Amino acid sequence: MAEAHPVGFQWVMEAKARGAKVIHVDPRFTRTSALADTFVPLRAGSDVAFLGGIINYVLQNERDFREYVVAYTNAATIVSEEFVDADDLDGLFSGFDPETRTYDTSSWQYEGTEGHEGDAGSAESHADRETASGLQHESHGGATASQTQRDETLQHPRCVYQILKRHFARYTPETVERVCGVPQDTFLEVCDAWASNSGRERTTMLVYSVGWTQHTTGVQYIRAGAILQLLLGNVGRPGGGIMALRGHASIQGSTDIPTLFNLLPGYLPMPHHEQHETLQMWIDEMSHPGQKGVWSDAGAFGVSLLKAYWGDAATAENDYCYGYLPRMTGDHGTYQQVLDMIEGKISGYFLLGQNPAVGSAHGKAQRLGMANLDWLVVRDLFLIESATFWQDGPEVATGEIVPEECRTEVFFLPAASHVEKEGTFTQTQRLLQWREKAVEPEADCRSELWFFYHLGRMVKERLADSTERRDRAVLDLAWDYPTHGVHDEPSAEVVLQEINGYQVADRTPLSSFTELRDDGSTVGGCWIYTGVYADGVNQAARRKPRSEQDEVASEWGWAWPANRRLLYNRASADPQGRPWSERKKYMWWDEDKREWSGPDVPDFERDKAPSYRAPDDASGVAAINGDDPFIMQSDGKGWLYSPVGLVDGPMPTHYEAAESPFRNSIYGQQGNPTRKVYERDANPTNPSPPEPHADVFPFIFTTSRLTEHHTAGAMSRYVEYLAELQPAMFVEVSPELAQERGLEHLGWAHVVTARAAVEARVLVTDRMVPLRVENRVVHQVWLPYHWGQGGLTTGDSANDLLSINLDPNVLIQESKVGTCDVRPGRRPTGPALLDYVADYRRRAGVAGDHRIPIVTAGQADASAEGD
Amino acid sequence: MVSRNSLSGPLDPTPDAGYVDPPARKGFFTDTSVCIGCKACEVACKEWNEVPSDGLNLLGLSFDNTGSLGADSWRHVAFIEQSRPVGAQSFEGPPTGPSGTSFLGMPGTALPGASQDGRTDLRWLMASDVCKHCTHAACLDVCPTGSLFRTEFGTVVVQEDICNGCGYCVSACPYGVIDRRETDGRAWKCTLCYDRLKGDAEPACAKACPTDSIQFGDLDELRERADRRVAALQGAGVTEARLYGHDESDGVGGDGAFFLLLDEPEVYGLPPDPVVTTKDLPDMWRHAGLAALAMAAGVVAAFAGARR
């Protein structure tokens, strides 16, 4: 966090100054570790085993916050007797179809709800994986029945609590030491500290970032963290929770108002051509008729969005132009698209503030894809590698791209920087902060808003005389934004008002998403943002200083939803509505005023008493009981076990990374059996046990950031004052590895995988720690991923080493762990480089038509016992 | 005994420099125990003062690629990786350092842990260094043109339009801070953002520092704050926490920019006992004068008996 969020880290330092203990768990000792009280080195890719060990510790030692767990989680809920756990199937769950490598999840359901519309057969699971449908759960849980069978004594053998206990029983301290390389005493210290600092009087916060998400089991990492925090009663309470640090300053905004293929604003799913053929099917998918929760109003969210897009053209008669929305037919994710580009299936590409030649996994695939287009438009602050790859990328040196013959026509348009335009940032805390424009952009530099508005205007003009039905989708777009200034800049504030939503009749801004309607009378560009323009005031622009507010500081900026700062804050009070303790008082039920009180907006109906019990036939908001804090889950409880919503299992399970030097010793199933794989000649994966020749790539590598540089380097390598702080691409190695491979401090080395060989200066440091895993020593190396061939400081790109292997729930790439070789000296150049890497592939047995044995459960070679 | 124009000992330098009723003396307290090594201070300083880049050089001193203070680096973040013997309790309380360091002299000259058997625990010290704005500033004392002067805030600033690049200040500074800029020959160093002070703003580095490692304010208030901070750290078991440059009776009369360190100054590349190099000037002149007198006496004696 100190590396990637130095300004946010001041709050960790502030907490430390007040006596908080900081524990840092990471494959590498970073600037965060330097300020932590305890540093725990662990093997990259083994976090589920680590967290599983802590979950096991909490359960075996009964250190869970029992009252919270019974009342607020699904611990007591009884699961179908059809369910078979990974323990009994060597790492698979019941319902696995080896053909499609997906699960039929009907056996995972709660007892009595099998066959419910929420569960998914294999075909649905396959479509879920293709379309990364897990992403829509960013704002709401999955759909299952609201009334479930529960045993609040937690003794029933099929209650979630017991299932969890059996599932994690293998994750003993010995297992953690063997699998993760974390000494048992260190591990137990962490367990004890975490458990001791949880409960009524104390809360612990879990902070993570992309070091957790960018794995083929990334979503399950997060789930494991959530299970632990739920067991310890840390969710929805002050000083607790799970803080997901995002990768850049407004990327939360880019999933809220998405630039993703499978999401619409507010985490509404992009319609699928089969599953959501009609408007009603789309709405039903979101609203889950019969469920608890606010999603019962999804029709209003969806229709109001359509009205925002197509304005007056969207009427009840034409289903509000639902037919104009694009439909998904499968995987349109960025990696699929790049591979499609290589195969010539894509003509054109817009790249805006993104540098995939450096920032995305498998750099060569990115560049070869972009070299096979009709046209490419790049908007950025500098001539980034994704604009210049055709003339100076690594493939030019090797001869794979010949500049004179490259067919892609590249248009580079200079972009305005964040101080040259106004608008909002939405950061990790869901906080929207409006920024004013400080200076006018120079020369031809323009904002994204300007670009898209005028592009849309010009496209509409070009199509004005068209009689093609498909062009109506563009022609009917409501595009009347006012512009101002010498460059005809569209008004960002008007766009924010549209996002907020308003009454169609008189453009009165809405103040809450509860005012949205499904009858075409409201516009709502993003239902979770409704309220940012409440009362016609730009709430995101508020800057009441912290010295004039309490610590919740509700009048600085605006958080979605409804300016609620702490989600699920009902859980900060006990089932009777009293704070768990005076020290951790946050929200509570005021019996006299008959409402929820406290410094924040209640994440609950303000006047719903703790004693409220829903009638049996209730649905929607009325079905939420007075003690159901997790209002976005269909049963109102925090999920220790996920009956729906995940493609790869209802509980986290340790799988090795797609590339690992180790055989999974907990189960026979080596890697995530449902992971998204693209088997192409262009995308070889290093071999992992039980495949032979894994020793060709004996070391583990991981990538992350340096404070001095920013992501793919476009905003730092070209800036003198930043470039000089970290002026060269380097690789960190331990003294032990340096000795083993003959590496010299500040000398050259190159790191090799089946995709590429990347050279870097060597930094020998004690901060890289060889680990003892599965009874042998394994070395890890670390590379920053900021470098490319442009700018003041140039170097090879670390992401060229990565393969394309994705988490199946959200299609994120596994960029935080892989295997590699490390050799002294610089890498070969020119065509010799291709031969060099090809030789490695040949020796590893992954050249050509090699196919990865993905499903390895139940094989003869599987290790005999978990521990 | 301190008198006007004294070159050592406790002193309030601002009235001593001739100011009548100056504002309270301003300075920095840099608490290195909360430095996260982000280098925002280096960048903010360069941005505000238009200090040129000092080259793209991978120095390999851990994450320190700046190397030292100089004409083109007025804030310099040092990184020191230290190994500690296994068994040093890493969990109870904040990290403590080794009882004796394996470094003497400049940090980063030996690879930490390179010759040790087995794995040890690690400590990574980070510290943002800056011009000390000494109470007795040798650079100021030796400057022949009067370019270097004491401001009303008690800070020491170079007037670049007067500096003739003689370089006397460079050899005078006991900390090795000030230096001449290669591209134009003049001496440059931290101004404690004199222009920002005049505008009632804090220096750029202090403003940018996210963890308030760099604290700006009235020097005596900073010294009180630092005393409390050291006491708190030591009370929490960080026995090696100490202040550096805070003591008025040290060789430079105390620094306007002083530090909280977690180890010996040498570990950070700081001189353990800095003395203003002009301290012995009165003595030197006395010796020189005596020598001249003795010489004159000798000459007289030589000629007195040379009449015949």
Over A172-192, what HEC string results? CHHHHHHHHCCCHHHHHHHHH
The partner residue sitting opposite B36, judged by closest CB among A2, A37, A39, is A2
Task: Find chain B residues with C-beta within 8 A of A18's C-beta.
Answer: none
Interface of A with B in 89-148 (CB under 8 A): none
Predicted pLDDT of residue B176: 96
Predicted pLDDT of residue A462: 97
Taken in order A197, A198, A199, A200, the sign of the CA dihedral is: positive
Please answer yes or no on whether A763 and B60 come within 8 Å at the CB atom: yes
Q: What is the pLDDT of residues A161-208, one digit of tens each?
A: 999 999 999 999 999 999 999 999 999 999 999 999 999 999 999 999
Predicted pLDDT of residue B85: 53
Closest-CA distance, B60 to chain A, in angstroms, reads: 6
How far from the centroid of its chain's Cα atoms is residue A383's Cα?
28
B111 shares contact with chain A (CB less than 8 Å): yes
Q: What percent of chain A has pLDDT over 70?
A: 96
The 3-state DSSP class for residue A514 equals: helix
Q: What is the pLDDT of residues A319-352, one digit of tens each?
A: 999 999 999 998 999 999 999 999 999 999 999 9
Closest-CA residue of chain A to B124: A34
Stretch A554-568: mean pLDDT, rounded? 96
CB B99 within 8 A of CB B109: no
* pLDDT value at B100 more than 90: no
Instruction: Return mean pLDDT, chain A.
Output: 94
B44 shares contact with chain A (CB less than 8 Å): no
Predicted pLDDT of residue A143: 63
Task: Find chain A residues with C-beta within 8 A of B56's C-beta.
Answer: 723-724, 727-728, 792-793
Give residue A344's identity as a one-letter amino acid code: G
Please answer yes or no on whether A724 and B53 come within 8 Å at the CB atom: yes
Q: Which residue has the higher pLDDT, A138 or A824?
A: A824
Q: What is the pLDDT of residues A277-300, one digit of tens each?
A: 999 999 998 887 766 677 888 999
- Lookup: tokens for B159: 């007037």
Q: Residue A381 and residue A734: Cα distance in Å, rounded? A: 37
Task: Find chain A residues with C-beta within 8 A of B210's C-beta.
Answer: 6-7, 9-10
Q: What is the pLDDT of residues A489-508, one digit of tens each?
A: 999 999 999 999 999 999 99
With a CB cutoff of 8 Å and minimum separation 6, the contacts of B38 are: A2, A6, A31, A707, B210
B65 shares contact with chain A (CB less than 8 Å): yes
How far from the centroid of its chain's Cα atoms is residue A590's Cα?
37
* pLDDT value at B88 more than 50: no
Q: What are phi and psi of A327, to 5 degrees?
A: -120, 140
Q: What are phi and psi of A565, to 5 degrees?
A: -90, -35
B222 shares contact with chain A (CB less than 8 Å): no
CB A499 within 8 A of CB A307: no
Q: Taking Cα atoms as reference points, which of A388, A377, A372, A386 lies closest to residue A349?
A: A377
* pLDDT value at B3 more than 90: no
Predicted pLDDT of residue B96: 27
User: CB neighbours (10 Å) of residue A70?
Assistant: 18
Pairing of strands B257-261, B26-31: parallel
Closest-CA distance, A856 to chain B, in angstroms, reads: 36
The 3-state DSSP class for residue A148 equals: coil
With a CB cutoff of 8 Å and minimum separation 6, the contacts of A614 are: A292, A622, A623, A624, A625
Label residues A331-361 b or e (16+ Cβ within 10 Å = b). bbbbbbbbbebbeeebeebebebbbbbbbbb
The 3-state DSSP class for residue A548 equals: helix
Predicted pLDDT of residue B114: 32
Give residue A643's identity as a one-letter amino acid code: P
Banded pLDDT at A140 (limits 50, 70, 90) = low
Closest-CA residue of chain A to B44: A721
Closest-CA distance, A655 to chain B, in angstroms, reads: 28
Q: Residue A395 and residue A368: Cα distance in Å, rounded? A: 8
* pLDDT value at A377 more than 50: yes
A601 shares contact with chain B (CB less than 8 Å): no
Banded pLDDT at B90 (limits 50, 70, 90) = very low
Q: What is the pLDDT of residues A454-473, one digit of tens each?
A: 999 999 999 999 999 999 99
List the Cα angle A308/A313/A317 in 5-degree steps: 110
The 3-state DSSP class for residue B288 equals: helix
Predicted pLDDT of residue A724: 98
CB A174 within 8 A of CB A667: no
* pLDDT value at B111 more than 70: no
Least confident range of A132-141, A282-291, A811-820: A132-141
Stretch B244-272: mean pLDDT, rounded? 96
Q: Which residue has the higher pLDDT, A762 or A634?
A: A762
Distances (CA, A) of A78 to A66, A104, A164: 17, 19, 12
Stretch A469-498: mean pLDDT, rounded? 96
The size of the A-B interface in CB pairs under 8 A is 113
Predicted pLDDT of residue A849: 78
B58 shares contact with chain A (CB less than 8 Å): yes
Least confident range of A144-158, A463-477, A539-553, A805-819: A144-158
Predicted pLDDT of residue B217: 98
Closest-CA residue of chain B to A187: B91
* pLDDT value at A443 more than 50: yes
Interface of A with B in 206-235 (CB under 8 A): none
Residues in chain A: 867
Q: Residue B99 and residue A586: Cα distance in Å, rounded? A: 45
Predicted pLDDT of residue A139: 60
Predicted pLDDT of residue B107: 31
Predicted pLDDT of residue B120: 52
Predicted pLDDT of residue B306: 63
With a CB cutoff of 8 Å and minimum separation 6, the contacts of A88 are: none
Please answer yes or no on whether A2 and B63 come within 8 Å at the CB atom: no
